[in-house]
Amino acid sequence: MLIDVHAHLNDKRLITRIEQIIQDAKNCGIEKIICVSDSLDSSKAILEIAQQYENIYASLGVHPSAINSFNEEFIDLVNKNSANEKVVAIGEIGLDYHFEPFDKNQQINVFIKQLELASQMKLPVQIHCRDAMEDMLKILDKNKELLKLGGIVHCFSGSLKDLKQIQKLGLKISLGGVVTFKNAKNLQHLIKDIPLEMIMFETDCPYLTPHPYRGKTNEPKYMILTAKNVADIKKISYKEMFEISTNNCLDVFKKMR
Ligand SMILES: [Zn+2]
C-alpha cells in the first residue's frame, strides 16, 4: 500500500473526475490520499471531500500566498473540525518568497499562528517552503515546542544541511514528481543521503507530474513513478520502499492508522 500525502483533489481539473481518479490510484496501489488545503475556501471543500470518500483524508491550512484567508472563520473551522477522524493535519502552511510582491512579516506571522493552532489541536503539520529555507528553519527552530506532534516539509528540495536540520526538528519530508525530472540531478544525488525513515511520497497534483508525463495534469496514480524512482536510487526493492514510506506516513499522520 502507498499513501499520497499531498494532493489537491479539490482542484477544478480533478474534482469532476474524482471517483475515477481515486479508483485509478487504488489500482496502482495508492490506497489513501491526504487532500491538502491552501485557503479557507479549499479547507471547506476538502472537509466535504474527506467526508464523502472513504480513503481520503483532510489537512486544513492557509498557504503563504493566501494569507488573507487566515481569519476568525478559518480558526473557527479548524476548532470545530480538528477532532474529526478524517482531519489528520494542519497545512499547507509556511513561507513562499517566489512570486513578488509578498509581505515577509505577514507570512511569518500567519505561519507561526498556524503552528500554534496545530499544537493546540494536537495535529502534525504539512509545511510548504519555496525560496525561503533559511527563514523557515529559523522559525521552526525558535518554535520547536510547537512541533511536538511532528510533521513534514512537502516537496522537499533543499540541501543536505537543510535536511539535517529538518531531521533534528523531528520532522520528515515528502518527495514529489520533481525527483523524476531529467534536470533534477542535485535532488537525485541528495536522495542517496536522505535517511529512509524520513521519506514519504506525494503528487501535489494537479501540479508537478512525474516524468514521462511531465506537462500533463498530475493525479495520484502517477505517484508510483516517483516512489519507484527513489527506490532505484536507494537500491532497495519497490516493495520495501513502499512499506517504509507508508510506515513513515502512519507514524506522522497517526489518525490514518
Ligand atoms: Zn500543494
> How remote is the CA of residue 216 from the centroid of ligand 1, in Å?
17
Helix/strand/coil (H, E, C) string of 72-128? HHHHHHHHHHCCCCCEEEEEEEEEECCCCCCCHHHHHHHHHHHHHHHHHHCCCEEEE
> How remote is the CA of residue 234 from the centroid of ligand 1, in Å?
25
> How remote is the CA of residue 107 from the centroid of ligand 1, in Å?
17
In order along its 257 residues, the chain shows pLDDT tens digits of: 999 999 999 999 999 999 999 999 999 999 999 999 999 999 999 999 999 999 999 999 999 999 999 999 999 999 999 999 999 999 999 999 999 999 999 999 999 999 999 999 999 999 999 999 999 999 999 999 999 999 999 999 899 999 999 999 999 999 999 999 999 999 999 999 999 999 999 999 999 999 999 999 999 999 999 999 999 999 999 999 999 999 999 999 999 99
Phi/psi of residue 19, nearest 5 degrees: -65, -45
* pLDDT value, residue 210: 97
Which residues, 6 or more positions from 149, have their beta carbon under 8 angstroms from its beta carbon?
118, 119, 122, 123, 124, 125
> How remote is the CA of residue 93 from the centroid of ligand 1, in Å?
10
> How remote is the CA of residue 154 from the centroid of ligand 1, in Å?
8
Whether domain 2-256 has CATH 3.30.70.260: the reply is: no
114-152 pLDDT, tens digit per residue, is 999 999 999 999 999 999 999 999 999 999 999 999 999
For residues 221 and 6, give the distance between their C-alpha atoms in angstroms, rounded to a whole number.
13
The predicted model scores a pTM of 0.97
| Beta-carbon neighbours within 5 Å of ion ligand 1 | 204
Q: Where are the domains of the chain?
A: 2-256
> How remote is the CA of residue 168 from the centroid of ligand 1, in Å?
24
